[in-house]
Every structure is written in C-alpha cells, then in structure tokens.
Chains A and B, each alone.
Chain A
Amino acid sequence: MEIIMSVLAGILFATGVYNLLQKQLLRIVIGTALISHGAHLFILTMGKLKTGAPPILVKGVEQYTDPLPQALILTSIVISFGVTSLLLVLAYRAATLNKTDNMEELRGSEDE
C-alpha cells in the first residue's frame, strides 16, 4: 500500500512540476496545488498506513495509528489552501493590470 501511495505522490509531484514550468499563469497555480497535494499524501504515507486502528495512545492499546502525521497534514492543508487562494487573487490582479497572463511577457525591463 505504501508503495502505491509513494508512486501516486511521485506522479502528483511530476505533473505539478510540469505545470509549474508552463507559461500560462493559471497552469502554474494548478501546478502548485498539485505539488502541495503530493506533499500531503507523502506525509501520510511516511507515518505508515494502517486501517482499523484509532489514533490514540493509552496503556493497554497495542494497535494504534500514528496521530502526528494527521495533525501535520491538517495544518499543512489549511496553509496551502490559504496560499493557493491568495495566489489565485494575485494572479487575477496581475493578469488584469499587466494585460497578459503569459509569464514570458511578465519579465519586466531594465528601465522601470
């Protein structure tokens, strides 16, 4: 199971990076979202996947899921959600003001 999840995280990273290297702004934003999904999936996989066990650590319970990766993932999801929404607004404003969403044309020149 861990292998499959790792491969899936890898695919998400690969597609994310591919999109990040595009010229169109919206594709880049989607690329960052894909990369963050990959990273989150990866945290979950690194904490070992188990089914049917609660994330509780008390005396007497021997079967338990590691609660820490879930806490980390939750924090990280919230942060990347916030940053992605900010990025969308920023991209929209930048595209309207600069009248282009092509990164090649957003380079800027020396005389500004």
Chain B
Amino acid sequence: MSNLAIIPIIIPLLCGIIAIFFHKYVKAVRLFSQVMSIINLGVVLWIGWLVLQNGTITLATGGWEAPYGIIIVADPLAMLLVITSNIIGTACVFYAQSSLSKKQEQFYFYTFYFLLISGVSGAFLTGDLFNLFVFYEVLLMASYGLIVLGGERIQLRESLKYVLLNLFSSMLFVTTIAYLYSVVGTINMAQIADRVQQVDQTGILTTIGMLLFFVFATKGAIFPLYYWLPKSYIVPNPVVSALFGALLTKVGIYSIIRTFSLIFVHETNITHDLFLWLAGFTMVFGAIGALSTNNVKLIIAYNIIPAVGFMLMGIGLLSQDGLAGSVYYLLHDMIIKAVLFLLIGALVYVAGTSDLTKMKGIIHHYPFLGWLFFLAALVLAGIPPFSGFIGKILLIQGGVEQGQIMLVVVGLGSSLLILLSMMRIFMRCFWGEKEELNGGLKPIRSFTWPAAFLLIFSVLLGVGAEWVYPYVEIIANDLLDPSIYIDSVLKE
C-alpha cells in the first residue's frame, strides 16, 4: 500500500487545472507544460523502476480496503504502458509549439493534453471495472476537446460522428457492468476474476464477456468496428492525431488484454478463437485500406488497424510467447505511430498538400526528414533489427507453436502490404526530381527533433531487446496466471 500508485494520475490532472488559469499567456503555459511533462516523465520512470524491482504497488483510495473501495494497481504491465504514454506525451508537447497556431494553443490545448494523459494513465492503473469506465470518459472528454480544436467545418463534422460512436459504446459499457454486477456482485476486477472461477454455469458470463469485448473493440478499432477511425483521426492537427493514434486505441487493446487474461478465461474455445479470426480480418482489411488511398495522412491512420490485429492475435493465442509478443508490439506500436503522425505532419506542412500524387523530391530539400521517415517505415514494417521485428517474431513463434499457420501467413502477408504502403509514400513524396518548392524552404527543426527523440526509443526497443524482453516475459507470466494479480490486490 503506497500513495505512489496514484501519482501518475494526480500530477497531470493538477497540471491541467493549473494551465487553465493562465491559458492566454502562450509562452508561460508552453514553458509550464514542457517543464511539467519532463518532471512527470521522471517521476513515472522512478515509480516504474520501483515496481519492476519490488513488485506491484496497490492503493486503496480513501482507506476503503479491497474489494469495497476503488483500488489503484500499479503492476509492471500498467507501469510500462504509463511510462511509454508519458514519453510520447513529452515529445508531443515539444512538437505542439510549432505545429499549432497561437490561437489553438491559447484555447486550452495544454489543459486537454494533460487531462488526456491523466485519463490514459488512470485507465492503465485502475483495478476497478467501473472506475475504468470513468477514466475512459475522462480521456474521451479530453479527446473531444482536442478533436474540435480549431473548429473547422470538416473537424466539426467528423468529431460529431466520433462523439456519437464513443457515447454509444460507453453506454453499452455501463450496461455490461450492470449485467456483470448482477451475476458476480462486485466490480473489483480481482474479485470478479476470483468469483468467475467459482461459478459453475459460465454461459451468461461468456455472453457478458463478448459484450465487453464489443465495447473495447469499438474503442480499439478491431474489424468490423474500425470504420469510424481513419477519417476522424486525420481531421485534427498532426500533434493531436499523434496523441490519438498512439494512446487512444491502445487503451482499448490494454483493456482487452487485462479482462481476457484475468476474468474471461473459462471458455477460450469460444472467446479467444473468435479473437484469432478477427485478428486475421483486422490485419487484412487495415492493410488494404492503407493501400486504397492517396492521402498520406489517411495511409498512416489506416496503418493503426493492422497493428491492432497483431496485438489481438497474441491475446487470442493466450500463450507465453503470444502475450509477450502482444505486450512488446503494444509498446512498439504506441511509439512508432506517434513518430509517423509527427513526421507526416511535418511532410504535409512543407509540401502544403496531403495528396501524394502532388508531391515529389522532398528529400532534396529536407534530407533529415526523409531519412527519418525511411527509418520509421522500416521500424513499422518490422525489418530486423528494429522493434517491430521483435514483437512480430514472438507472435509468429506463438502462432506456429499452436498450429495457427494460416494466421501467421496472413500476418506476414499484411506486413508486406504495410511495407508497400509506406514505401509508396517514400517513393512518391521523397524521391523524384528536384522541384522548386513554392514558398521556399521552411524551418522544420522543431518538427523533426521530437520525432527523432521518439525514434531513438523505438530503435532502442529493437536493438536493446535483450534488456527489455526479461520484463516483458515477467509481464506475460503474470498475465497467464491470474492468481498473481488477484493475490496482489485482495491479500495485502
């Protein structure tokens, strides 16, 4: 029991509130946000280090012991994801100053940003199903604010659909919690898992599990529920797209990993086999979507979808290698999606258009941007020795072990399509004859450095796999054995 568990939620929440009071003074609020992001990142790293060394930290809020009160559980998986979110957040804050207009910065960008980080961290850390819903709402509310930032016609139109869809799935979430409460009589995740193991008739629980999966699949953009994602992710400013692409869908995936390794593991031949099918379709349709368009932003947005398929595949396998692969891929994908959105934002800024048929020869003017993009494309497609490769090889190993050869073939095929979609951007936009740019050279150093900073982590995750993998292995072990999580929450 220690208050440390709630610190990653509290700091950004307070910063967001403080930033409201002087939102008009752009320079002050900008400096404040940058400094606080770095401080928060340091604190989170320290807590993460403690958790990895000494094991899970739990906090019963308000002194109400589990299972009665709300429990915050900082276990290795949650902390690793909180750290990754904060690294991305810090890079985005430094990118925001040049990407956003002064007016957008004044209109509470930094407040919404801090609330988003707070909500995401809360969703990772909470050990209570209803509290998970509340943190979902916190991060969604912040995202509603961010998606309309600027208030253009197209933004309002797409955000309307985004809000409606999320509102509907949130209401389904509440309904599902009510069902679950009437069956097991608790909303503490550890106690639900404990009681589910004792229930004999599991039919109703499987139904509830599928309903919960439907909710998370909508937020996580899994086939066939991904249709809302690409368009609503390209309308806001690139820095907002990067935050959304890196964090929002991943919270849905994290919730699936958590609930379907802890609670609903009693009938895997129904639930987890369905995941494998859906994972395959998600990979194929996402990769095809990425090839179907000439809009560079849309290509990147579509590339979120096959990655979700890969993570779902690991959960469907429910084996040591599968889960380790899922977690590794989750970490890798959060970082690389942020990098790509940031780089594409810079590309669209210098080219003045997002249509790839209208650009060529950008690399002659901006060599650093071009090579960064090339490196990011290799990382995304999973070329060794980068981080995408490590995650994929674990997933493929797990797939072959369980005889899912078809799915492995589909996964590898979709990786090729992803590489093709990225190379299409690289060849069309960066290669080609040198052309006079209208408007001349623009300074883009403040665009490229945050992306380069994130890319370093991405490369480290691949080259330094030997240091990261032991922790991921511990996490996968914890996930496979629900009693570890249950004991750490219920038996202090």
Question: Which positions in A face B, CB cutoff 8 Å?
Answer: 20, 25, 28, 32, 35-36, 38-40, 42-43, 45-47, 68-69, 72, 75-76, 79-80, 82-83, 86-87, 90-91, 93-94, 97-98, 106, 108, 112
Q: Contact partner of B181 among A35, A46, A83, A98, CB < 8 A?
A: A46
What is the CA–CA distance of A108 and B170 in the complex, to the nearest angstrom? 26
A97 B156 Cβ-Cβ under 8 A: yes
Contact of B163 among A20, A39, A90 (CB under 8 A): A90
C-alpha spacing A90/B166, complex, angstroms: 14
In the complex the two chains form, is A97's CB within 8 Å of B175's CB? no
Distance in angstroms between the alpha carbons of A94 and B154 in the assembled complex? 9
Are A46 and B178 interface neighbours, CB within 8 A?
yes
Q: Which 10 residue pairs across A and B have the least CB separation, nearest first?
A: A46-B182, A94-B156, A46-B178, A43-B178, A39-B174, A39-B171, A97-B153, A79-B137, A39-B175, A35-B171
Q: Which residue of the partner chain, among B153, B168, B178, contacts A20 with CB atoms under 8 Å?
A: B168
Instruction: Write out the residue numbers on chain A whose beta carbons fall within 8 Å of the beta carbon of B174.
Output: 36, 39-40, 43, 72, 76
In the bound complex, how far is the Cα of B182 from the Cα of A45, in angstroms? 9
Minimum CB–CB distance for A73 against chain B, Å: 9
CB distance from A38 to the nearest CB of B (A): 8
**Sample of 6 further A-B pairs with CB below 8 A, known A36-B174, A46-B181, A94-B160:** A39-B174, A47-B181, A79-B170, A80-B171, A98-B157, A106-B157
Query: Contacts A83-B163, A87-B167 known; A75 to B156 CB distance under 8 Å?
Result: no
- Closest chain B residue, CB of each to CB of A89: B148
Cβ 8 A contact of B137, one of A39, A42, A83? A83
In the complex, B146 has a CB within 8 A of chain A = no
Complex contact B144–A86 (CB within 8 A): yes
Q: Give complex CA distance A91, B159 in Å.
A: 10
Does the CB pair B159–A90 fall under 8 Å? yes
Distance between Cα atoms of A75 and B154 in the complex (Å)? 33
Q: How far apart are A93's CB and chain B's nearest CB, in angstroms? A: 5
Cβ of B151 under 8 Å from chain A: yes
Please determine whether A90 and B153 come into contact, CB atoms closer than 8 angstroms: no
A38-B175 Cα distance, complex, nearest whole Å: 9
Q: Is the CB of B164 within 8 A of A87?
A: yes
A87 adjacent to B157 (CB under 8 Å): no
B130 is an interface residue with CB less than 8 A from chain A: yes
- Contact (Cβ within 8 A) A98 B153: yes
- Kindly provide the distance from the CB of A11 to the nearest chain B CB, expressed in whole angstroms: 15
Our pick among B163, B171, B172, B179 for the contact of A86 (Cβ within 8 Å) is: B163
B163: A residues at CB distance < 8 A: 83, 86-87, 90
Q: A97-B153, A108-B158 known; A32 and B164 CB under 8 Å?
A: yes
Q: Judge whether A32 and B168 touch: CB under 8 Å.
A: yes
Q: Which of A28, A40, A80, A112 has the most chain B CB within a 10 Å cutoff?
A: A112
Q: By DSSP majority rule, is chain A's interface helix, strand, loop, or mixed?
A: helix
> How far is it, in angstroms, between the C-alpha of A85 and the C-alpha of B164 when the chains are bound?
12
B299 is an interface residue with CB less than 8 A from chain A: no
A44 to chain B: closest CB distance in Å?
Answer: 9
Asked whether any CB of chain A lies closer than 8 Å to the CB of B52, the reply is no
* A-B pairs with beta carbons under 8 Å apart, 30 shown: A20-B164, A25-B160, A32-B168, A35-B168, A36-B171, A36-B174, A38-B175, A39-B178, A43-B178, A45-B178, A46-B181, A68-B181, A72-B130, A72-B174, A72-B178, A75-B130, A75-B134, A76-B133, A79-B137, A83-B137, A87-B160, A91-B160, A93-B151, A94-B156, A94-B157, A94-B160, A97-B156, A98-B157, A106-B157, A108-B158
Cβ contacts under 8 Å, A69 to chain B: 178, 181
Alpha-carbon separation in the docked complex, A82 to B171 (Å):
13
Which of A20, A39, A82 has the most chain B CB atoms inside 10 A of its CB? Answer: A39
A32 to chain B, nearest CB (A): 5
A97, B160: Cα distance in complex, Å: 13
Q: With an 8 A cutoff between CB atoms, is B317 at the interface?
A: no
Which B residues lie within 8 Å of A25 (CB)? Answer: 160
Q: Is the CB of B178 within 8 A of A90?
A: no
- The answer to whether B157 and A108 have CB atoms under 8 Å apart is yes
- Give CA–CA (A32, B134) in the complex, Å: 18
Q: Residue on B with the closest CB to A69? A: B181
The residue from A68, A87, A93 contacting B187, defined by CB atoms under 8 A apart: A68
- B158's nearest neighbour on chain A, judged by CB, is A108
CB of A112 within 8 A of CB of B181, answer no
C-alpha spacing A87/B148, complex, angstroms: 12
With a cutoff of 8 Å between Cβ atoms, the chain A residues found around residue B175 in the complex are 38-39, 42
